[in-house]
Amino acid sequence: APAIRLEDYQLPRYRIETVFLDINLDPTETRVCTRMSLARTAGTPDGTPLELDGDDLSLTSVQIDGVPLECSAYEASPEKLTIKAPPAAPFELIVETVINPSANTQLMGLYQSSGTYCTQCEAEGFRRITYFLDRPDILSVYTTRLEALANNCPVLLANGNLAETGRVEGTDRHFAVWHDPHPKPAYLFALVAGDLAKVPDRFTTRSGTSVELNIYVEHGKEGLCGWAMDSLKRSMRWDEETFGLEYDLSVFNIVAVSDFNMGAMENKGLNIFNDKYVLADPETATDQDYANIEAVIAHEYFHNWTGNRITCRDWFQLCLKEGLTVFRDQEFSSDMRSRAVKRIADVRLLKSHQFPEDAGPLAHPVRPRTYHEINNFYTATVYEKGAEVVRMLKTMLGPEAFRAGLDLYFERHDGEATTIEAFLKCFEDSSGRDLGQFSLWYDQAGTPVVAAETEYDPARQSFTLSLTQEIPPVPGQKTTRANVIPLRFGLVDPNGTDLTPGSVDGATVSGDVLLFDQQHQTVTFKNVPVPPVLSLQRAFSAPVRLNQKLSEDELLFLARKDSDPFNRWQAVQTLAMQDLVRLTSAIRAHQPVSPSEGIIDVFRSILSDGSLDAALKAQALTLPGEADIAQEIGKDVDPDAIRSARESLRSLAGKALSGQLLQIIEASPAGAYSPDAEPAGQRALANRALHYFAVSDASGVSALVADRFKTANNMTDRLAALTLLVHSNLPRAAEALAAFHDRHQSNSLAMDKWFMTQATAPLKDAAQVVARLMDHPLYDPSNPNKVRALLQSFASGNPTQFARVDGSGFKLVAESVLAIDKRNPQVASRLLTSFRSWRALEPQRSALAESALLRISSCEELSRDSRDIVDRTLQ
Query: Which are the contacts of 191, defined by CB distance < 8 A and separation ≥ 6?
Result: 23, 110, 117, 118, 119, 144, 146, 156, 157, 158, 270
Binding mask 607-626 for ligand DPP (x = CB under 6 A): --------------------
- Give the integer Cα–Cα distance in Å for 123 and 802: 31
Residue 718 beta carbon to Zn ion: minimum distance, rounded to whole angstroms:
31
Residue pair 13/44 in contact by the 8 Å Cβ criterion = yes
- 306, exposed or middle or buried, with CB in 10 Å at 0-12, 13-18, 19+? buried
Nearer residue to ligand DPP within complex by CB, 373 or 628: 373
Q: Which residue from 96, 134, 259, 266 is in contact with ligand DPP, where contact means CB under 6 A?
A: 266
CA distances from 292 to 162, 227, 345, 627, 857 (A): 30, 11, 12, 22, 35
Binding mask 269-308 for ligand DPP (x = CB under 6 A): ------------------------------xx--x-----
- 400, exposed or middle or buried, with CB in 10 Å at 0-12, 13-18, 19+? exposed
- Give the integer Cα–Cα distance in Å for 526 and 507: 13
- Give the integer Cα–Cα distance in Å for 524 and 519: 17
* 3-state SS string for 262-293: CCEECCCCEEEEEHHHCCCCCCCCCHHHHHHH
Nearer residue to ligand DPP within complex by CB, 265 or 393: 265
Nearer residue to Zn ion within complex by CB, 262 or 715: 262
Nearer residue to ligand DPP within complex by CB, 273 or 427: 273
Residue nearest to ligand DPP (CB): 265
Q: Which does 664 bind (CB under 5 to 8 A by kind): ligand DPP, Zn ion, none?
A: none
Q: Which does 865 bind (CB under 5 to 8 A by kind): Zn ion, ligand DPP, none?
A: none
- Give the integer Cα–Cα distance in Å for 437 and 55: 40
Q: Which does 122 bind (CB under 5 to 8 A by kind): ligand DPP, Zn ion, none?
A: ligand DPP
Q: Which residue from 53, 218, 322, 626 is in contact with ligand DPP, where contact means CB under 6 A?
A: 322
Asked if residue 122 binds ligand DPP (CB under 6 A), the reply is: yes
Catalytic residue among 300, 384, 632, 850: 300
Q: Is position 79 annotated as part of the catalytic site?
A: no
Residue 141 beta carbon to ligand DPP: minimum distance, rounded to whole angstroms:
21
Binding mask 558-597 for ligand DPP (x = CB under 6 A): ----------------------------------------
Residue 270 beta carbon to ligand DPP: minimum distance, rounded to whole angstroms:
13
Total residues contacting Zn ion by CB under 5 A comes to 2
Query: Which are the contacts of 280, defined by CB distance < 8 A and separation ≥ 6?
Result: 224, 226, 227, 228, 289, 290, 293, 675
Nearer residue to ligand DPP within complex by CB, 299 or 845: 299
Residues numbered 322 to 381 that lie near Zn ion (CB under 5 A) are 322, 325
Residue 368 beta carbon to Zn ion: minimum distance, rounded to whole angstroms:
17
The total of other beta-carbon atoms located within 10 Å of residue 33's CB is 17
- Give the integer Cα–Cα distance in Å for 391 and 786: 34
Beta pairing partners, 272: 255, 265
The total of other beta-carbon atoms located within 10 Å of residue 781's CB is 17
Residues numbered 466 to 525 that lie near Zn ion (CB under 5 A) are none
Query: Which are the contacts of 532, defined by CB distance < 8 A and separation ≥ 6?
Result: 456, 463, 491, 492, 493, 499
Residue 299 beta carbon to Zn ion: minimum distance, rounded to whole angstroms:
6
CA distances from 689 to 116, 650, 659, 667, 725 (A): 44, 11, 10, 11, 15
Beta pairing partners, 74: 83
Query: Which are the contacts of 117, defined by CB distance < 8 A and separation ≥ 6?
Result: 25, 101, 110, 111, 148, 153, 191, 192, 193, 194
Nearer residue to Zn ion within complex by CB, 271 or 800: 271
Nearer residue to ligand DPP within complex by CB, 379 or 469: 379
Asked if residue 264 binds ligand DPP (CB under 6 A), the reply is: yes
**Segment near ligand DPP (CB under 6 A), from 87-95, 257-265, 555-563, 646-654?**
257-265
Residue 92 beta carbon to Zn ion: minimum distance, rounded to whole angstroms:
34
- Give the integer Cα–Cα distance in Å for 477 and 363: 10
Residue 132 beta carbon to ligand DPP: minimum distance, rounded to whole angstroms:
18
Q: Which does 265 bind (CB under 5 to 8 A by kind): Zn ion, ligand DPP, none?
A: ligand DPP
Nearer residue to Zn ion within complex by CB, 190 or 803: 190
**Residues binding ligand DPP (CB under 6 A):** 122, 262, 264-266, 299-300, 303, 322
**Residues binding Zn ion (CB under 5 A):** 322, 325
User: Catalytic residue positions?
Assistant: 300
